[in-house]
C-alpha cells in the first residue's frame, strides 16, 4: 500500500518535494495560499508590477496524483497534521516547510494573494512618486532592489545603507567590489558600516529620515526596510524536544528531524539545515528528502541512510536589473554576461512556471 506523505507549506521546498514524490507515494500538500510566490521575481515586480502575472503561480497544475489542501496547519503529531478548521490529515511521514516571512512587498504577508497584489501596487505607486529612495539592508534582496530601481527608473536618487563594512563580506572580495562599482556607475550611493538608529518599521516601506550610527542623516521619500527573513517556526516549537538555534530557525538532527518524533522532518528556511535561507538551499534539501523518504518507505531505518550534507560553498547570483550583476559560481566569480544568462534575464520564472505545471 502506498504510504501517506504530508508536506506542510508549498514554498520552494514543499513544491519541489511534492512534485518529486507525486508518483512514489500518496502526497498531500497543505498550503493556505492560492498561488506560489516566486520570490526572485518579486524584487523586480516592485518596479515592473506586470511581472506578478508570471511570479504568482496557481497550485492547481502541480500534482498529477496527489492533492493540495488549501488550508493552514495548526499543529502536528506523529499521526498527522491538524488544520485550522479542525480537520485531521493522517500521515505516515510529515515534512514541515513553513518557510519564513520578509518585509512588504517582497513576500506575501498574509494568506491572501489579493492582499499581496494590493501591497505590491501600493509599493510600486510609492516608488513611482518618490524622488529619493533609501534601502536599509544590503543583503541580496536590498542590493538587487537597488540595481532594479537604477535600471528601470534611473532618475531616482537611490541610497543603499548597510551595517556591514562592504557588500557580502563573507563572500570572495571580488564579488562585493564589482557589485559596488556597478551600483556606483548606475548612480546608486552606498553607505557601509552604519547602523540605522531609528528604523520606524522593519516590515513596511515608509517615508522619513534615517539617523545613522556614523552621524549621517538621510531623508528619503521612500524607505524600504530589507533586513532579512524570519523563520515561521510556530507549529514546530511545541513538538517534544524541539528548540530554536541562534538564527531563530528550528534545530534539526543530521536527518533534518526537528524533534523526538522519528517520522517528522523539517527543511527550507524554517529549519537550521546548515544551508543559508535560500532557494539554493531548499533545492538541495528537497532531492535529499525525496531519496531518504523513498528509502524509509522501502523499509530502511533512517540511521542506515546517508545524513544530509549542506552546501559547502553554495552558488550566489546577484543581478542588478536584467542586464548587469555578478555571481559567485564556486569555481569563479562571474560578471554581467553569465549573471544575466543564468538569472537576471528570466529570474527562473520559466523553471518554476514549468514545475508548477503552467505554460
Ligand X SMILES: Cc1cc2nc3c(=O)[nH]c(=O)nc-3n(C[C@H](O)[C@H](O)[C@H](O)COP(=O)(O)OP(=O)(O)OC[C@H]3O[C@@H](n4cnc5c(N)ncnc54)[C@H](O)[C@@H]3O)c2cc1C
**Using rule CB under 6 A, residue 46 touches ligand X:** no
**Using rule CB under 6 A, residue 127 touches ligand X:** no
- Return the residue matching grid coordinates 517556526: 233
Q: Which stretch binds ligand X (CB under 6 A): 10-18, 165-173, 301-309, 328-336?
A: 10-18
What residues between 55 and 94 interact with ligand X by CB under 6 A? 72-73
**Using rule CB under 6 A, residue 39 touches ligand X:** yes
CA pair distance 33, 19, nearest whole angstrom: 17
Q: Which stretch binds ligand X (CB under 6 A): 29-37, 157-165, 200-208, 289-297?
A: 29-37
Toward ligand X, which CB reaches closer, 81 or 134? 81
Which positions from 202 to 241 touch ligand X by CB under 6 A, shown as an x/- string?
A: ------------------------------x--x------
Sign of CA dihedral 157, 56, 138, 319: negative
- Give least dist CB 318 to ligand X, A: 8
Which positions from 139 to 178 touch ligand X by CB under 6 A, shown as an x/- string?
A: --x-------------------------------------
**Of these, 5, 35, 76, 106, which contacts ligand X (CB under 6 A)?**
106
**Using rule CB under 6 A, residue 35 touches ligand X:** no
**Using rule CB under 6 A, residue 258 touches ligand X:** no
Residue 325 is placed in which grid cell? Answer: 550583476
Pairing of strands 88-90, 80-83: antiparallel
CA pair distance 77, 18, nearest whole angstrom: 20
**Of these, 5, 45, 97, 134, which contacts ligand X (CB under 6 A)?**
97
CA pair distance 54, 261, nearest whole angstrom: 39
Which residues lie closer than 8 Å to 110 by C-beta, 6 or more apart?
A: 116
**Of these, 5, 6, 7, 11, which contacts ligand X (CB under 6 A)?**
11
**Using rule CB under 6 A, residue 279 touches ligand X:** yes
Tell me which residues touch ligand X (CB under 6 A).
8-14, 30-33, 39-40, 42-43, 72-73, 97-100, 102, 106-107, 141, 232, 235, 268-270, 277-280, 282
Amino acid at each position: 500500500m502506498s504510504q501517506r506523505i504530508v508536506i506542510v507549506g508549498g514554498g520552494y521546498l514543499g513544491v519541489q518535494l511534492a512534485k518529486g514524490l507525486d508518483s512514489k507515494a500518496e502526497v498531500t500538500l497543505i498550503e493556505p495560499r492560492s498561488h506560489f510566490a516566486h520570490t526572485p521575481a518579486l524584487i523586480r515586480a516592485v518596479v515592473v508590477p506586470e511581472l506578478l502575472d508570471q511570479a504568482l503561480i496557481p497550485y492547481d497544475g502541480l500534482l498529477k496524483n496527489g492533492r493540495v489542501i488549501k488550508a493552514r496547519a495548526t499543529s502536528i503529531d506523529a499521526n498527522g497534521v491538524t488544520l485550522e478548521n479542525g480537520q485531521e490529515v493522517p500521515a505516515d511521514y510529515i515534512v514541515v516547510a513553513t518557510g519564513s516571512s520578509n518585509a512588504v512587498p517582497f513576500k506575501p504577508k498574509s494568506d491572501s494573494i489579493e492582499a499581496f497584489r494590493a501591497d505590491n501596487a501600493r509599493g510600486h505607486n510609492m516608488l513611482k512618486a518618490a524622488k529619493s529612495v533609501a534601502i536599509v539592508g544590503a543583503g541580496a534582496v536590498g542590493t538587487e532592489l537597488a540595481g532594479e530601481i537604477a535600471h528601470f527608473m534611473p532618475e531616482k536618487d537611490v541610497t543603499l545603507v548597510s551595517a556591514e563594512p562592504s557588500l557580502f563580506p563573507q563572500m570572495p572580495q571580488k564579488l562585493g567590489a564589482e557589485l559596488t562599482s556597478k551600483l556606483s556607475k548606475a548612480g546608486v550611493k552606498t553607505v557601509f558600516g552604519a547602523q540605522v538608529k531609528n528604523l520606524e518599521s522593519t516590515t513596511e516601506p515608509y517615508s522619513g529620515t534615517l539617523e545613522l550610527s556614523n552621524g549621517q542623516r538621510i531623508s528619503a521619500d521612500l524607505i524600504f526596510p530589507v533586513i532579512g527573513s524570519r523563520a515561521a517556526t510556530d507549529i514546530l516549537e511545541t513538538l517534544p524536544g524541539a528548540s530554536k538555534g541562534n538564527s531563530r530557525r528550528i534545530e534539526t538532527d543530521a536527518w533534518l528531524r526537528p524533534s523526538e518524533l522519528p517520522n517528522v522532518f523539517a527543511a527550507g528556511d524554517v529549519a537550521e539545515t546548515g544551508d543559508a535561507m535560500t532557494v539554493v538551499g531548499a533545492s538541495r534539501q528537497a532531492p535529499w528528502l525525496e531519496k531518504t523518504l523513498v528509502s524509509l518507505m522501502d523499509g530502511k531505518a533512517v540511521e542506515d541512510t546517508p545524513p544530509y550534507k549542506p552546501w559547502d560553498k553554495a552558488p550566489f547570483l546577484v543581478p542588478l536589473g536584467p542586464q548587469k550583476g555578478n555571481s559567485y559560481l564556486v569555481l569563479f566569480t562571474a560578471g554581467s554576461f553569465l549573471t544575466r544568462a543564468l538569472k537576471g534575464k528570466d529570474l527562473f520564472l520559466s523553471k518554476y512556471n514549468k514545475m508548477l505545471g503552467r505554460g
